[in-house]
A and B are shown apart, each in its own frame.
Chain A
Amino acid sequence: MIDSAAAPLDQDDPTTVTADVESTTRPAAPSTRTSFAHASEAEMARILDFYQVRWEYEPHTFPIVWNLEGSVVESFSPDFWLPDLDLYLEMTTLRQKLVRKKNRKLRRVLELYPDLRVKLFYARDFRALMLKFGKLALVDELSGTPGQVVPVRPAAANDDDETDGEREVDR
């Protein structure tokens, strides 16, 4: 596992969504803002905050494929870590092709790190959550490509540097 604080993740990527949601595991820093890759992630952070469940956004990266030289060529960074529950939460609200890719990654992660607890949160789960909270009308805005609010990444930037596939908008 790699601590993402030292990993070359795209926290400063200008294409990510910045929201007024604070990671509740961080020390008190009122101005702290987290950059989310997807609007649904920002909504999930607000829900976790509401119920006072501590979270961190993409704090850890798990290598899953190495080349012959031993360098990591593919890795997986779950969207949220809930430290009090020792649970990782991965949001998947895009197209089926990307869901399959994420399922494959998750299977690989669990093969390599069998003690890891990861909950994959599919689009239907997010939709059900919004229905439960009476926010179904927001689903179309927050999920799928509209929620992405990011341009298509350059072809070279894929699994090598990022991990969860959601930033690769498949139009």
Chain B
Amino acid sequence: MTLETIDLAADVGEVLLTEEAIQSKIAELGARISADYGDRRLTLVSVLKGSLPFMADLMRAISIPVRIDLMEVSSYGGTSTESSGLVRILKDLSASIEGEEVLIVEDIIDTGLTLNYLLRYLRGKNPRSLRVCTLLDKPARRLVDIPVDYLGFTIPDQFVVGYGLDYGEYYRNLRFVGVLRPEVYSGGA
């Protein structure tokens, strides 16, 4: 795949979640989170890069005061990580979460491997509570069972892009979630 061959509109075969559906769900999630946490101090932790649009919209849908923080972990197969063979924290939290109410904001949970690692890592920082909010859940791919406290949509077992989700680092800027045409990636990654 090269920049010249990418056609943002044509490469998506089906729009799975429209912009309107996503925003409506986020408003609903924001209201639930606001009600659940009430006057408790909440820290939203987003996992880069895919969760960025969801985090940006969700935090504005929450009506109680929140702090935000960002993390990034290496992904298997990434060129910068192959030498160690182990997942690494590329960007850690910028502030302590000890004793804090923490809500992880994820774009999608499929295998659960990354989130399983993150949950273990963050529990080690002794937050008061640690919960999970994900926009998308793809249970067909699950290897590690993850308790999801706030869920946007359960999606079928298809490769989706858009609204932060990428293929080869592209398509993140689509305002909807769509299914990537197989011919886009069938030639190899």
Residues of A within 8 A of B (CB): 46-53, 85, 87, 89, 119, 125, 128-137
- B144 touches which of A49, A53, A129, A134 (Cβ 8 Å): A53
In which size bucket is the chain B interface? 20 to 34
Given contacts A46-B85, A128-B141, A136-B188, contact A52 B117 (CB under 8 A): yes
Given contacts A52-B86, A131-B159, contact A47 B189 (CB under 8 A): no
The digit string for B146-189, where 1 denotes a CB below 8 A from any CB of A, is 00000000000101000000001000000000000000010011
B74 to chain A, nearest CB (A): 8
**What number of residue pairs across chains A and B have CB atoms under 8 A from each other?**
59
The answer to the question of B23 belonging to the interface, with a C-beta cut-off of 8 Å to chain A, is no
Contact present for A50 and B85 (CB under 8 Å):
yes
A selection of 28 A-B contacts at a CB cut-off of 8 Å is: A46-B76, A47-B76, A47-B113, A48-B113, A49-B86, A50-B85, A51-B113, A51-B114, A52-B120, A85-B143, A85-B144, A85-B145, A87-B143, A125-B141, A128-B141, A128-B157, A129-B111, A130-B189, A131-B159, A132-B110, A133-B77, A134-B77, A134-B168, A134-B189, A135-B77, A135-B189, A136-B189, A137-B188
A139 to chain B, nearest CB (A): 9
A50 proximity list for chain B (CB < 8 A): 76, 81, 85-87
Contact present for A133 and B144 (CB under 8 Å):
no
The digit string for B122-143, where 1 denotes a CB below 8 A from any CB of A, is 0000000000000000000111
B111 proximity list for chain A (CB < 8 A): 129, 132
The answer to the question of B116 belonging to the interface, with a C-beta cut-off of 8 Å to chain A, is yes
A40 to chain B, nearest CB (A): 14
A89 proximity list for chain B (CB < 8 A): 143
A75 to chain B, nearest CB (A): 24
Most buried by A among B75, B87, B113, B120: B113
B76 proximity list for chain A (CB < 8 A): 46-47, 50-51, 133
A46 proximity list for chain B (CB < 8 A): 76, 85
Most buried by A among B77, B157, B188: B77
